[in-house]
Structure 1
Amino acid sequence: MPWKTTTPMEEALRFVTLAQTERFTLTELCGQFCISRKTAYKHLERYASGGFKALAPQVKPKGSGRETLILGGMR
């Protein structure tokens, strides 16, 4: 039988679901999921504002604006 694999989004939903039950402290859940309290609050806030879809990983822009300006000015 193969190992069960989960996505980061599924893990975030599982975390939020357990946090809402109030059976565990936030510190206990952070230890169980190996995440920081900052990340925990980020997941809870995203779920509260946008539901399950808001837990999807956010796309970050490549490079900084400064790099773009410098490279753009070299042409």
Structure 2
Amino acid sequence: MIKGYLMAVLTVVSVSIVYGLLVPSLISAKSDLALLIGFSTAFGFPVVGFIVGRRYINTLKKSKENK
């Protein structure tokens, strides 16, 4: 179950990085707002995903220990 979860997290990370790098070119490469949105998408979503994933895995470990 944890391997499947990690594969899903890696897929989301790779998609968000690619999307975050494409946003500036979709809006306008010269726009500061586009670069801000792109970088926040590329680096924000993976960080949040890893934090949530780590908490989820820790709760799985704690539930196994309590059984």
**Where on the TM-score scale, by shorter chain, does this alignment land: which range?**
0.3 to 0.5
TM-score, length basis structure 1: 0.32
TM-score (norm 2): 0.35
Q: Which has the higher helix share?
A: 2
